Amino acid sequence: MRNPPAPDIPDSRVMYDVPLAPLVTWGVGGVARIMFVPRTENELSSVISWVHSNGTDFFVLGGGSNVLISDAAFEIPVINTARMSAIAVRQSGDTVYMDCLAGTPMKEALSLSLENGWSGLERAAGIPGTVGGAVAGNAGSKTGFIGASVERVVTLEPDGSRAEWSGRDIEWGYRSCPLFDGGKRIAQSVTFRTERSSGDKVARLAAETMRERKSQPVSARTAGCVFKNPSGNSAGKLLDESGCKGISMGGARVSEFHANFIENHSGSARDILSLALLCRKKVLEKFGTYLDFEVKTAGVWEVCPDAGE
């Protein structure tokens, strides 16, 4: 039985039986039984309070990258932040602060900084998804991670209250931000700290970051790197040397360009997960190295016996 919509949320912001596949970059996933699509900070706060008062977990969906959603129906509420997109700019001397709502696409924040010659977000070049997702996963590249440019994070706590965190005080991890461990709080907004610089210099640094990504598949359905790099090594290199490039399962195939990417060619979430588990097994057998997922898995999963797990 469905619970009533959250107070102060227009009916148009509450959706039922929403197909998730069109909302994620892999193009797979079941339906969300109920989805909230807040547009303002107050609406998001109301949703969070409602969810917790009903004693249920929730799943946050932003740009739909870096996530693998199961084929089964998604029974817990989905909070889609895609409509929470806005950037406000504040300046103090040569420092420029960019206040971004959590659903703002990272490419929009980067584009604004490039247009104005503000340095600090170059490491975000080529990163898909939203500001909130990028910060939660401390996205980045060889040139650095996004956490280094975060001035402030505003979160909503389980009771719907607002909390502020200094980016300098956060113990940023590799592809992780401890604020969101456990999944009980959600990013409401992020402030990036940038510095006035030469437009040519900023563009050059962004181009260098993009060149690092030249080996990544750009025309296929992927979700970014599947596995985290183990300490002192490259997951892509280990996967390549384990013979993973080009192998497939159902409609999923390991990219010929970069072995840490799985392409979806009319496959299912089960195909993708099964292939990922098979690749992890191959690396473990050859090198004794266990690869941790970088993508987040969500939903209810069946056992994947064809992958040996």
User: Of 43, 122, 263, 294, which one is the catalytic site residue?
Assistant: 294
244 is catalytic: no
DSSP letters spanning the chain: -PPPPPTT--GGGEEEEEESGGGSTT----EEEEEE---SHHHHHHHHHHHHHTT---EEESSS-SEEE-SS-B-S-EEE-TT---EEEEEETTEEEEEEETTSBHHHHHHHHHHHTEES-GGGTT--SBHHHHHHTT-EETTEEGGGGEEEEEEE-TTS-EEEEEGGGS--BTTB-GGGTTS--EEEEEEEEEEE--HHHHHHHHHHHHHHTTTS-SSSB--S-SBPPPTTS-HHHHHHHTT-TT-EETTEEE-SS-TT-EEESS--HHHHHHHHHHHHHHHHHHH--PPPBSSEEES-----GGGT-
On the 0-12 / 13-18 / 19+ scale of CB atoms within 10 A, 190 is buried
User: Of 39, 122, 123, 225, which one is the catalytic site residue?
Assistant: 225
294 is catalytic: yes
253 is catalytic: no
User: Of 123, 175, 185, 253, which one is the catalytic site residue?
Assistant: 175
Beta-carbon contacts of residue 105 (< 8 Å; ≥ 6 apart): 63, 85, 129, 130, 131
Show which residues are catalytic.
175, 225, 294
